[in-house]
Every structure is written in C-alpha cells, then in structure tokens.
Amino acid sequence: MTDAAPDTAYARGEAVVRDPTGLHARPAVKLTKLAKGFDARIEIRAGRSDGWINAKSPNSVMKLKVAFGETLSIRASGGCADRAVAALVGLIERDFDG
Amino acid sequence: MAEPGHECVFTGLSAADGLAIGRIVIERTARHGPRRAGSPADEKEALNAAVARAAREIEALAAQADELGAGILEFQGALLEDEDLMAEVLGRVAEGAAAHVAWASVIDGEVAEYRAGDDEYFRARAEDLLDLKARVLRHLHGAAADAPEKEAKDGILLADDLTPSRFLELDWSTWGGAAIRGGSPTSHVAILARARGIPLVVGLHGQLDDRLGGKRAVLDARAGRLVIAPSPVTMAAASDRLESLAADRRAWQDLIGRPAITADGEPVQVLINVDDPSLLDGVSPAHCDGIGLTRTEFLFRDGRLPDEESQFAVYRRVVAWAAGRPVTIRTLDAGGDKPIPGITPHGESNPFLGERGVRLSLRRPDILTVQLRALARAAALGPLKVMVPMVTVPEEMIRVRDLLNDAVGALATAGVAHARPALGMMVEVPAAALAAEGFDVDFFSIGSNDLIQYLTASARDNPAVAPLADPRNPAVSEMICRVVGAARAKGIHVSLCGDMASNPALVPLLLDCGLRAMSVAPAQVGGVKLAIHRYRGSEEGAAGRDG
C-alpha cells in the first residue's frame, strides 16, 4: 500500500469484471494463483478507491468485494512487471476462463 | 432434552428438503485441552506444521469433492497459502503469542470483517474462515487422531454445528440427514445439502443430550422438524411418505433427461427460469427445452448501469449454455418489489401499481436501448427471444419495437454482428390478459405471480392477505385459458413462467387450460415432468380448453 517507488516505475493495466457475481472466491483464487507465478510485486484496486492491495493475497482480494461491471486497476513493479500486468488483464477479460 | 420412550419433537428451520427415518448420531464439537506454548521458534514450527497438515487434508478432500465442494475447499486451501494472512499470524508469534492464540485471534478478526455489511455472499464466506480456524487448531492441539465416523447406516447427525469441510468428509450415501443447532438456510452447508438432496434442518431448538444418541428418529426437513422416539402413528406416516417420495424420485430420474409427454402422448415444453446465470453451471441443459425466463435485475444491482459489453458477455454465456435451445431474456423489470436505487422512482404510494417494468423502461429509453443492443448481438449466437414485462396496452409494445428496430439498424450500420430477436411480452396485467389478441408481439409468457396478485387484489408480500392470492381461484384459470386461446388464434407461442408452473400439484390445472409450455425453477424440472407424465386430459379439462 505504500509506494516507495515513483509512479513511473509501475507497469499498469485495467480490466472490467464481467462475472455476474463479481470477483467471488473462485475468480479471486485464480487471480492470486496467476499473480504468484510472477516475481513482480503486483497490486490491484477496485474502481477509483485509494487502497492498493497485494494481488497475491486471496483474502485481501476477496475483501475488495469487487462487483460485476467494476473496473479493476492493476500495477506491478520488479521482474517482468509488464508481462504480469498483461497476464492479469487477460485473465479478467477472459472472465477467469469460466 | 427428552423423556425416554416418549415421542419428542424439536423444531428448527428447513435448509434442504427431504425426509429420513434413522437413528440419532450425536457429534460433539471437539473440545481442546489446555496447550502449553513453547518458545517463539517452537511456536512458529508448530504453526507451520499444523497449517501444512491442514492444507494436505483439504487438498485430499477437494480431490474427491464435486465442483461445488471443490470450490469451497479451494478457497480454504488458498487462504492457508495467503502470505499476508500468515505474515500477520507469524508476526504475533514472533512477539511471543502462543501459536493457537495468534492463529485464532487473526482469523476471528477476519471473520468480523467478512460479517460486517449486508452482503450475504461475504457473510457466508466467514464460515470458511471458521472452518479453517477449527481445523488448524485441532492440529495445534494434536487432536488429529480422533477421526469421527464418516459412515453411519441411516444415521441422523445431531450436532451443534456442521462445517462445510466436515460435511464434505462424510459419506452421505450412508447417512439419512442432519439436524444442527447452528447454521442458517443460506449457509454453505445448506447449499451443499440442497444440491445433493440431503435432508437438513438448521437452527434446531433445544440442547444436545447424549442420551438421545442411538434413538430412533424421523427427520422431516421440509417442515423443519426432528421427531425423536416417534410413535407408531408418526412412524407409519413417515414410512408411507418416504415410500412415495422414493417412487417419485425414481420416476423423475427416468423422465428428467427425456422430453415431457402427457399420458395421452401430448408433448409439453419444460423450460427453466434463470435468476442468476452463474448458477447455470450446476444445471444440465439436456434436462430442459431451453430457458423460458432469464431475469436481468441482478445486472443492475446497487443502481449500476452495466455497459453494452458487460451485458453482452452475460447474454452470450446464457446462449452458449443452452447450446441451440431457445433462450428468453427479460428486459429490466425494476420497480414494485424490485426497487433499484437511482432508477426506480422514490416515494410512490403503491409501487406495485406504479412506474415499473416497461413503464420505467420507456421513461428511460437510454437504459433500454443499451440492453436491446446487447440482446440483438447475442441473438446472432443462438435462438434468443426478448421478453418485455408489465405491458398494459399495445402502444407500449409498438414503442419497444421501434426502439428495437433502431438498435438493430444502428448495429447494421456499424457493421456489428447481430440478429433480430423475437420480441414478446409478459402477460401479467389483467387488462393485457383480457385483450391479449390486440397486441402485435411474437410470443406471450404468462407471469402468474403478478397476474394472480392483480386479479385477486392481494399483495403477495403481505402474509395477511396471501391466502387470497390463490392460484386455484377459478378466475386465474379463466384468465390463463383466455391468453392461451388468444395465442392460438394469433398463431404465436405461449408459455407460463410464474411460480405456479414450479408446483407439480398445479401443473394439471395449467394443462387443463391448454398450456403446453412452462418455465420452472431448475430444481423442479423432475417433479414437473413427472406431473406432466401422469396427466391425462379430463372431460372437464377438455371442455375448459375448448371454451
């Protein structure tokens, strides 16, 4: 949640959650599993809220309570940050391969 | 809790329908003895070991569970690997807290967060955390050896509580059912029990008394009753009902995958109602003739206005599920008992007679147009029908058709793949039912819930007058017969999508009216097909159909 690195150090992306139930347990687990596959520090937030949370924590992702139609912002820093953001955006856009 | 030898009735809430006769097996929540904490390093090691064992058990359980169960367990497993959550617990251990104290306090804090707020879904997830908390604590206390029984011939489980993972551990083919003092009808365990047809009563009144163990009992989950030491009369009635339920169930299983045909050999379409497409994963499309009603209110929850892409994604998924079978999707039916903040009007003196359904859509053509565009795009992917709620006069359908024409025209101009969907109306306003022939539509779908409440002037959400809102009132049959007659005269399709069709006992009445298509709750498909299978057109019914 604290960003020591300047804003420009982040790779960024956005995607809209298409699942009718929102980001419920199953998609949240899929998202964190994918995030854990990257070394980069990856964070997400819902809509325009200020709180960035760790995308590798299923508990924190669940507690965002992201609803259907809401935009999820993603930012990553460190190794393969661009690829990590692209992968997460892809997963959300494919509706979590549901 | 009971006088030995006398019939003794305990009441609770029905969580999963069913009936069982068996013997009581009491399961007590494990009580842990005191645990002596070691050094922070020892405690860290103990915690990691307990978490690792819990993770292995959950993984093994998930491997044998069905999709619903695996989903619940998968989330629990992921929580055990949650680095933030574990860092919090390990942090407290490093500061000197005992492993079991640190674990329990962190999880309890999370449970409180999940339970805060109104969202039923998140509240239910607190169960997963508590389930996990108990499992890890059991290992920390070294109580893993007391493996409780997984099988019990005709056992009726009586317990303070039942966790989702414990439910998934039991071999339900050997148990009759369960009655628990805790729980709620919306809990995970209730959902699991309903999906598997296991009788379950929750919120049972009374204390657990070890003397009840092994006693004969009747669990009437529909009524939310557990009868211990039943009298011969109670037993005989329960056995009779059990036998006829078992016979019905066998008959359904034979019929459910086949098209419904009456005893006279007349085919009847059985479609399903879809409240929320995410529930379709648990339903087999082969068991129905398509979808007769897809509600779209969930898309607009909390006053959100979903864009065309979001809506298209949902409609596409429903059409794909149906695999070529017809899919009827209803345009937004806000208002009445379904207010949506920011869309429905405030302060109407009588919302059921106010600006709802198509009345609201025509006041907000911007919202309706986005929905019609998304629907027309989905219509390119399969047979899709658009249904308009709360229509009163033909003019309303002319205006909706104009909007649909505009939407289709704009998609064509923009070169976006689409098709013109069939456009029909719900018949639920008595004035529309009586003058149905005058509407220019492609199909009718009778909305019996509202039709009955308007016809009998009895609000369906007011228990004081609910008995008057009776689907057996002859005026209701008269109205349905008229609409069926109007559809025949016009040569268009007619079905019924209210609760009436989901009640097997009322199905003969609908068939008597000449109705040959009905849309029902997915769980009732078997029961409705059986009622159709047993139906033979009576003289009276035939007269009704002609009249």
Q: Decide if B373 contacts B314 (C-beta within 8 A).
A: no
CB proximity A94 to B under 8 Å: no
Domain boundaries, chain B: 8-30+147-243, 40-140, 262-546
pLDDT, tens digit, 9 for 90 and up, residues B235-290: 999 999 999 988 988 888 889 999 999 999 999 999 999 987 877 877 889 999 99
Angle formed by the axes of helices B99-115 and B83-94, to 10°?
140
Q: If residue B355 lies in a helix (H) or strand (E), which one and from where to where?
A: none
**By CB neighbour count within 10 A (0-12 exposed, 13-18 middle, 19+ buried), where does B129 fall?**
buried
A35 domain-assigned: yes
Specify whether the CB–CB gap between A53 and A72 falls below 8 A. no
Whether B114 and A68 lie within 8 Å, measured CB to CB = no
HSE-CB for A82 with a 13 A CA cutoff? 1
pLDDT at B530: 95
> How far apart (Å, rounded) are the C-alpha atoms in residues B171 and B158?
16
As a whole number of angstroms, the distance between CA B471 and CA B255 comes to 26
Residue B271: closest CA among B262, B260, B281, B282: B260
What is the pLDDT tens value at each position of chain A, 98 positions in all?
A: 444 445 558 999 999 888 777 788 889 999 999 999 999 999 999 876 768 999 999 999 998 888 888 889 999 999 899 999 999 999 998 888 86
Residue B302 contacts A, CB cutoff 8 Å: yes
CATH of domain B40-140: 1.10.274.10
DSSP calls for B229-266: S--HHHHHHHHHHHHHHHHHHHHHHHHTTS-EE-TTS-
- The reply to whether B230 touches chain A by the CB within 8 Å rule is no
The CA distances from residue B285 to A25, B282, B291, B317, B475, in Å, are 25, 10, 9, 13, 35
User: Which residue in chain B is spatially nearest to A66 when comparing CA positions?
Assistant: B122
Q: Give the model's pLDDT for residue B96.
A: 94
Residues in CB range of B55: below 8 A, 6 or more apart? B77, B80, B81
Orientation angle between helical segments B474-490 and B448-455, nearest 10 degrees: 130
CB B70 within 8 A of CB B58: no
Interface check for A83 against chain B (CB to CB < 8 A): the answer is no
Instruction: Output the pTM of the full model.
Output: 0.67
- Taking a C-beta distance cutoff of 8 angstroms, is the pair B224, B201 a contact? yes
Q: What is the ipTM of this complex?
A: 0.89
Burial string for A31-67 (b: 16+ CB within 10 Å, else e) reads bbebbbebebbbbbbbeeeeebbbbbbbbbbbbbbbb
Based on the structure, what is the number of domains in chain A? 1
> In chain B, how long is the greatest CA-to-CA distance?
87
Q: Which residues pair with B426 in a beta bridge?
A: B445
Q: What is the pLDDT along chain B (547 residues), one digit of tens a residue?
A: 444 568 999 999 988 889 999 999 998 877 777 888 899 999 999 999 999 999 999 999 998 888 788 888 999 999 999 999 999 999 999 999 999 999 999 999 999 999 887 777 788 788 899 999 999 999 998 864 455 677 888 999 999 989 888 898 899 989 999 999 988 777 788 888 887 889 999 999 988 888 999 999 999 998 999 999 999 999 999 999 999 988 988 888 889 999 999 999 999 999 999 987 877 877 889 999 999 999 998 888 767 788 999 999 999 999 999 999 999 999 999 988 777 877 888 888 888 899 999 999 999 999 999 999 999 999 999 999 999 999 999 999 999 999 999 999 999 999 999 999 999 999 999 999 999 999 999 999 999 999 999 999 998 777 678 789 899 999 999 999 999 999 999 999 999 998 899 888 999 999 999 999 999 988 889 999 999 999 998 655 444 444 3
Is domain B262-546 classified as CATH 3.20.20.70?
no
Residues of B in contact with A32 (CB under 8 A): 78, 82
User: What is the predicted pLDDT for the residue at A7?
Assistant: 56
How far apart CA A25 and CA A29 sit, in angstroms, is 6
Enumerate residues 6+ apart whose C-beta is below 8 A from B446: B426, B427, B428, B433, B480, B483, B494, B495, B496, B497, B498, B515
Sign of the C-alpha dihedral computed for residues B433, B435, B441 and B442 taken in this order: positive
pLDDT at residue B538 in the model: 65
**Are B83 and A32 inside 8 Å of each other by CB?**
no
pLDDT of residue B31: 73
CATH number (domain holding residue A84): 3.30.1340.10
Q: Does residue B513 sit in helix, strand or coil? A: coil
Contacts for B23 with CB less than 8 Å, ≥ 6 apart? B152, B154, B155, B156, B214, B215, B216, B217
Residue A89 is assigned to a structural domain of this protein: yes
Q: What is the spatial distance between Cα B185 and Cα A91, in angstroms, rounded to a whole number?
A: 33
DSSP-derived pairing of the beta strands B260-261 and B267-274 = antiparallel
Q: What is the pLDDT of residue A8?
A: 57
Superfamily of domain B8-30+147-243, CATH level 4:
Phosphohistidine domain (3.50.30.10)
Full residue range of the structural domain in which residue A51 is found: 12-97
State the pLDDT at residue B276. 77
Alpha carbon of A21: minimum distance to chain B alpha carbons (Å): 7
Q: What is the C-alpha separation between B267 and B535, in angstroms, rounded?
A: 11
**Chain A residues with CB-CB distance to B81 below 8 A:** 58
Pick from A10, A27, A44, A59: nearest CA to B126: A59
Q: Where are the beta strands (DSSP E) in B122-215?
A: 155-159, 175-180, 200-202
* Most B-contacting residue of A53, A57, A94, A95 (CB-CB within 10 A), to test interface: A57
Q: Which of B72, B85, B277 shows the shortest C-beta gap to A57?
A: B85
* Beta carbons within 8 Å of B198's beta carbon, 6+ residues apart: B16, B18, B172, B175, B177, B178, B192
Beta bridge partners of A42: A76
Helix (H, G, I), strand (E, B) or coil at B302: helix
Distance between CA atoms of B469 and B480, rounded to whole angstroms?
A: 15
Is residue A63 a part of any domain in this protein? yes
User: Which run of H or E residues covers position B221?
Assistant: none
Q: CB–CB of B467/B491 below 8 Å?
A: no
Closest CA to B329 of B362, B298, B283: B298
Cβ(A58)–Cβ(B82) below 8 Å: yes
Residues 280-299 of B with CB under 8 A from A: 298-299
